[in-house]
Chains A and B, each alone.
Chain A
Amino acid sequence: MGEHFKVAIVGSGPGGLSAAGHAAVTGVSHVLLEQTDHLSDTIYKYQKGKLVMATPDILPLRSDMSFAMGIREDILQTWDDEAAKHVVNVRYKAEVTAISGSKGDFTLTLGNGDTLTCEFVIFAIGLQGNLRKMGVEGEDREWIQYQLDDPDEYADETIVVVGAGDAAIENAVALSKQNNVVIVNRRDEFARAKQGNNSLITAAIEKGELECLYSASPLRVEDDGIILKTPQGETKVACNRVIARLGAIPPRKFVESCGIEFPSDDPAALPELSGEYESNVPGLYIIGALAGYPLIKQAMNQGYEVVEYIQGNHVKPADEPLLEEKFRNLPGNPPVDEVIAHIQDSVPLLAGLTTLQLREFLIDSDVHTPTKGDIVFERNDYTNSFFSIVDGGVDIQVNPDDPSVTVGLGQGAFFGEMGLLSGRRRTATVLASQPSLLIETPRRTMIKLINSVEAVKRVMDEVAVGRQIQTYIAPGIPMEELEELIHAVQVEEFDQGDVLFREGDAGDCLYLIQRGSVTVSREIGGKESVISYVAAGNYVGEMALISNAPRSATIKAAVPVEALRLDGEKFQQLMERNPSVRELMEEKYRGRMLENIESTKQPQAGGIIQFLVEQGLGEATDVLLIDEALCVRCDNCEKACAETHFGQSRLNREAGPTYESIHVPTSCRHCEHPHCMVDCPPDALRRNPNGEVYVSDSCIGCGNCERNCPYGVIHMAAPQPKKPGLLQWLLFGRGPGPGQPDAEWLAAHGKGGAKKAVKCDMCKDIEGGASCVRACPTGAALRVNPSEFFKIVSQGR
């Protein structure tokens, strides 16, 4: 029989080490079992000289081991020193092969056959022992690797890095110094990476140090390269090496052999734990990545906490004060645990989150307690946050003409997802129907959650499909009636320029545009002419279903589009059962017929729509256009912009393309899904309820938005000092004139000053609206909403 301890800690990563450190400091008999010959193998295997981040910044560290942002070597050295100082009982090269027994009497078998006994086991093994593979043909070729120790070992190779997480970014950037690197990102942004890495990779891509393929994923590996699926189709990238950094999945077999159960068969599933990290095996605790806490600081805090729990001290988690502050205004001032448990019980969407994920989610969110009749948001607001109902309920005003028609949502439901999906204005006003408890989550946190928790995305998509059909196609029809139709819905994605269907095709379905926009074109005089434009929240394809004729027009994606494909037959059945749906469709049908007839009379309108769609207006919500037949080139618009925004004009009148007499100057279009918001570390790019996308004061001047804007309308600049008044300039020549930069100041501060992102905010803080438009003496400048503008154009000026 081997030695006996109170606590055996398996794994000496940040979590295990912190637990062992706290056990040592508090005098608990313990052993720290590490299968290699050094502490913290995962960090040990980090790239040489890697800067280790200490996120989330807001979370305080609670551990006897210290940790702050620093270089890998320094951190490991500190931990070695502190482990020695605290006299941590480490046993190296001690791989645990089996755990048996129960609380108070566990037996651990080690790789060399030794056994030891303990009262409690802390599992801190992490996930890195079990790396995730690509899951495609040829994934095990010898030149494909799933880990990288030292990037300096490779030189003059073409290396494809697959993944968009922190490891992939760090590897790709380090490898790019000596190699030709292509990084393959499954999504269109680096949403899952830490903020610092986000900036790192976008800067490297911008500088051309490496190439990035967005929305691409591996299909198979061939002898001399990897085949990728990209928005443009299949592409082969010839390469010498593929490094796939796809994270790791739980070493399930071993964990299950210890008696620990997993909630599902999903390979990424994690064991279920109590609020004090205890697994279904009493006395066996799990902390760190295997518990769903992948960050170093979180794991270290848990290591500390778990030793306290084992000793019977029910300490509060480290983020407790932050949450207490959030929940301070709740009636009865309930303790944080209770609120969290209540949220988990009442909101099914959030039930799939681990407690820690939920706590993090709540730290980002706001808690609201409206009383009956309080407005949560109004129709046509441009907010894009997401709401969950913890208690009470809300009424949604589904008919804009009659506020008394409402649909109620109760405890556990969520709303606001349509704005999040479509990037458009709120479709309805929502009021509290009783005293309620709502959680409002910002767009970015929600996107992160959707991207990382599959179940959240699935539930949201399901509900959103039904709601969109009910809102846009079948208002007033109860959900049960729509079930059959909803069940057959497929969400289809189209890239810019893809055809949804072609003129002359047989019509077997209806498309509801969920995200993006499409153009409608017809063959007129042997030439394909655009006749109109359809934005998100509308549908196309109803004409063929009503008339049973072939498609009367071609539908193309103006920007990347997500559309719901509604089965034609099921939809026709729905129309038969519900005359009101049929009427709505027929009304639309007549409208579209008229539009088609008009369009043949207005051939030039198609050219204008086509031109504007090419300029990216398909994703714009508000765009500045200049009628060059009226513009006298006085540049008063630019001067007005500069004068009302710290001397910096955010528009360039002359730049930009012109079609006939319509000129699209270089100026912000306030996109539905703003590209500038994608990688903003401080989340400084915001959208106002009126729709303006603006840069808030929290901008740190990193320049990501400037790089991400495909329209070149953001630039980095320092605000100029206030000028003397206009009359002082006019009468005494003091200061620079209107619209002129302060030359002296620029000479003194121009270069090297603290610059921040500067972009059009549509003069949201100025009464009367956009200064550029108001300053135009001839009325040539106008701001328009593209979908309204296209309607005007296609009806003939």
Chain B
Amino acid sequence: MHQSILVFRNYLYLKWALLVVAVAIGLYVLHDPAYGVANGGTWLGYGLGTIGALLIVWLMWFGIRKRRYGAASLSVEDWLSAHVYLGLALIFVATLHTGFQFGWNVHTLAYALMIFVIGSGVFGLVAYLRVPDLMTRNRGGATLDQILQDIAELDAQCRDMAMSLGDKINQIVLHAAEDTVIGGSFRQQLSGRDADCPTIAANRQLQDLAASASTAQSENLRGLIALMARKEELVRRARRDVRYKALLDVWLYIHVPISFALLAALATHIVAVFFYW
């Protein structure tokens, strides 16, 4: 129906970013540094460093702008599209700024943090582009709340049906109803699976019981198995939904704190450079 942030405004911000990259590379190629060694201390090095530092501050300002609601300038979509492209352009600007001189020092730490932040941002970008569609299809028009409600309803139905089927089956059904976890730990959320899921286990156990039971008994079990299978399907769907939501959110827990670390490292880098000048 309409476009993603990459295609936004007919690639306007990509064009800006390409211009920045082209100028940086062009100058780097044309530049003839003293002693023939490219480094951050030449006029080009200082120039690229200043641009890079300003870009970092500007990129981080996105966090503020996003929360400044009702501001009358550009829309957040403009900002995000520019954030993505200029963030990627920063790799070129900063790398050329280093003159490919790396070492075990605070300067390279800042560079490494920056690459890490950009990397997490690329992860986020991919997630933003892919996950919404998967999430929509997985939900099939329902909300997570509705899916959870349906699960609760199926639980109640299962327990009703198990009433007449003996203690063992009641135990299985009760365990599936009370101990099935959707969400759970960070790892569980991200994996979208639960190896010890009582619902999946119950389904398997009920099927085994039906196979070994007499014809009359398995007849009774069949209805319960159908319900439990439906519940398992919904549980899996709910877990996938949680997983997708986690994928959309998880990278921000890296992207944002590390960018603050980057800001600190950057400040240190700048102070150090000028102090030892």
Contact = CB atoms under 8 A, between A and B. Distances in A.
A613 B266 CA distance: 55
Interface string B106-134: 00000000000000000000011001110
B216 interface: no
Contacts of B131: 632
Interface stretch (B1-9, B21-29, B172-180, B198-206): B1-9
Say what secondary structure dominates the interface of chain B.
helix
A738 B66 CA distance: 10
B30 to A, nearest CB: 38
Contact of A661 (B127, B136, B145, B245): B136
Interface stretch (A345-353, A467-475, A639-647, A708-716): A639-647
Contact of B66 (A629, A632, A661, A777): A777
B2 A627 contact: yes
A773 interface: yes
B168 interface: no
B70 interface: yes
Contacts of A658: 136, 139, 141
A556 to B, nearest CB: 24
A388 to B, nearest CB: 40
A525 B170 CA distance: 50
A643 B71 CA distance: 11
Interface string A624-652: 00011111111010011001100000000
Interface string B52-90: 000000000000101111111101110110000000000
B72 to A, nearest CB: 4
Interface stretch (A319-327, A559-567, A762-770): A762-770
Contact of A632 (B73, B132, B141, B143): B132
A632 B77 contact: no
Contacts of A777: 5, 66, 76-77, 79-80
B70 A628 contact: no
B70 A766 contact: yes
A774 interface: yes
Interface string A182-208: 000000000000000000000000000
Contacts of B144: 654
B245 A633 contact: yes
Interface string A474-488: 000000000000000
Given A633-B245, A777-B77, A777-B80, A662 B1 contact: yes
Nearest to B75: A774
B72 A632 contact: no
A506 interface: no
A657 interface: yes
B76 A776 contact: yes
Contacts of A738: 67, 69
Contacts of A774: 70, 75-76
Interface string B192-235: 00000000000000000000000000000000000000000000
B133 A639 contact: no
Contacts of B68: 726
Contacts of B8: 779
B158 interface: no
Given A727-B64, A774-B76, A778-B80, A632 B1 contact: no
B141 A657 contact: yes
A778 B67 contact: no
B69 A640 contact: yes
Contacts of B67: 639, 643, 726, 738
B248 to A, nearest CB: 5
Contact of B69 (A657, A771, A779): A771
A775 B67 CA distance: 8
A659 interface: yes
Given A662-B1, A777-B80, A779-B3, A640 B143 contact: no
Contact of A779 (B64, B66, B71, B77): B77
Contacts of A640: 69-70
Given A630-B2, A657-B141, A730-B64, A644 B70 contact: yes
Nearest to B64: A726
A630 B8 CA distance: 12
B51 interface: no
B248 A661 contact: no
Interface in A591-632: 627-632
Nearest to A738: B67
Interface in B10-64: 64
Report the interface size class on chain A: 35 or more
A722 interface: no
B135 interface: yes
A25 interface: no
B66 A636 contact: yes
A779 B132 contact: no
B248 A629 contact: no
A661 B128 contact: no
B5 A778 contact: yes
A797 interface: yes
A28 interface: no
Interface in A534-572: none
B1 A627 contact: yes
Contacts of B70: 640, 643-644, 763, 766, 768, 771, 774
A661 B2 contact: no
A771 B69 CA distance: 7
Contacts of B4: 630, 778-779
A657 B142 CA distance: 7
A775 B143 contact: no
Contact of A768 (B72, B141, B143): B72
Given A659-B141, A726-B67, A632 B248 contact: yes
B2 A782 contact: yes
Given A774-B76, A776-B77, A779-B2, A632 B69 contact: no
Contacts of B1: 627, 629, 661-662, 797
B161 to A, nearest CB: 31
Interface in B133-173: 133, 135-136, 139, 141, 143-145
A655 interface: yes
Contacts of B64: 726-727, 730
Given A776-B76, A777-B76, A629 B133 contact: yes
A788 to B, nearest CB: 13
Interface in A654-699: 654-655, 657-659, 661-663
A640 B139 CA distance: 25
A636 B77 CA distance: 12
B141 A778 contact: no
A289 to B, nearest CB: 54
A727 B71 CA distance: 15
Contacts of A663: 136
Given A726-B67, A771-B69, A633 B75 contact: no
A480 B77 CA distance: 55
Contacts of B143: 654-655
Contacts of A636: 66, 76
A633 B132 contact: yes
Contacts of B133: 628-629, 661
Interface string A237-252: 0000000000000000
Nearest to A639: B69
Given A658-B141, A767-B72, A777-B66, A633 B80 contact: no
10 contacts: A632-B128, A632-B248, A636-B66, A640-B69, A644-B70, A657-B141, A766-B72, A767-B72, A768-B75, A797-B1
Given A627-B2, A631-B132, 12 more contacts: A630-B2, A630-B132, A643-B70, A726-B67, A768-B73, A775-B75, A776-B77, A777-B79, A778-B80, A779-B4, A779-B8, A779-B77
Interface of B: 1-5, 8, 64, 66-73, 75-77, 79-80, 127-128, 131-133, 135-136, 139, 141, 143-145, 245, 248
Instruction: Give 3 nearest A-B pairs by CB, closest first.
Output: A628-B136, A643-B69, A767-B72
Interface of A: 627-634, 636, 639-640, 643-644, 654-655, 657-659, 661-663, 726-727, 730, 738, 763, 766-768, 771, 773-780, 782, 797
